[in-house]
Structure 1
């Protein structure tokens, strides 16, 4: 499996890693974010149908795009409590950063629910990496953190994201509305239970650094008996 020789951070969330045979999710350190800047500068949202809701830094013109993108991650990394947290991961293939995968928990200690967000460089789309990185982060949530349920949502014309959700056992969970680039659009909501995830659980995904991260997020592993953190 892929590995990284990056030194350990004093901040445990930056040390969390998830490895599959095809890719790695690595805690989004500043060094890794800098390596992603050329991809962000080149453009991630490049044509309709636009995949992201407002406000979204990736819709801005460069260099404001890169500045706002970095500031949003720096701000998000610092906003951590038991009520709300968001883990940011850089997706690496053969050691090269190609996108991001986030995992967000709201009142996780009470409800055990998570949601995900991701993007990939246009250069590597269409090769199944979107599904692989979603499987990786779901393994972290269910196996490493003891989650009971995962949610996802995407605009109805974001066919790639919706296909991934359907393929991984999510079921439709209603619709909602949001804006993208100032225009209203409908969103399709999805829900994945632990029971459904277990049916497709993989045994070739490796978790690293999860146990040290749980206290930072206000997660008590004694109250998450399903979790087996690394």
Structure 2
């Protein structure tokens, strides 16, 4: 397992602004000795996944392009998210839903309901005006300024809040990477939402855990961690660049 983590760590080193790296840069990024990194990189070069350039830097090979072409063309966010949503719902015994933005509304595009008789009920296809609620805040927090500005004007008028206070809320959401709401949209209902990143680093979807406030507030810290872990898993499969938490232990030469 450690070997797989290290290989993935090397691949994750590369980015749009770092498409070629020296051996030392790779070693620094995966936090391993240079000698250990060299053995990993050398194996990946022999296997055809890395290319050593004339300047002795390394880059990903076109082999990844071939593999990318094999990805099922119809694989969408629902197919990727559904198993992880079901697992999260089963674990926390609460409703888990998937949302996106359509105009000035957020739209539920999939939901896994809990078996609890006292539960939050969300319906696929349901349109809810952006504004209150953790899902709305997460989706708005990552909108381009040009798209967000007219929405804020409308929401400020409806909620009687200032644009400055709304922007401050969204900045906090971006900073911590999630949003929590208690009774903002429906009295007695709480939600924890987090963004899903796509291959371009953009946020067009978010995952929400919804349930009675009396239960969610009692487990807010643990539920938040589980939601963040779930969106990390979905984002990875959706092509998003997520910080890899590798258990990389330094080895002595």
Q: TM-score, normalised by structure 1?
A: 0.28
Q: TM-score, normalised by structure 2?
A: 0.26
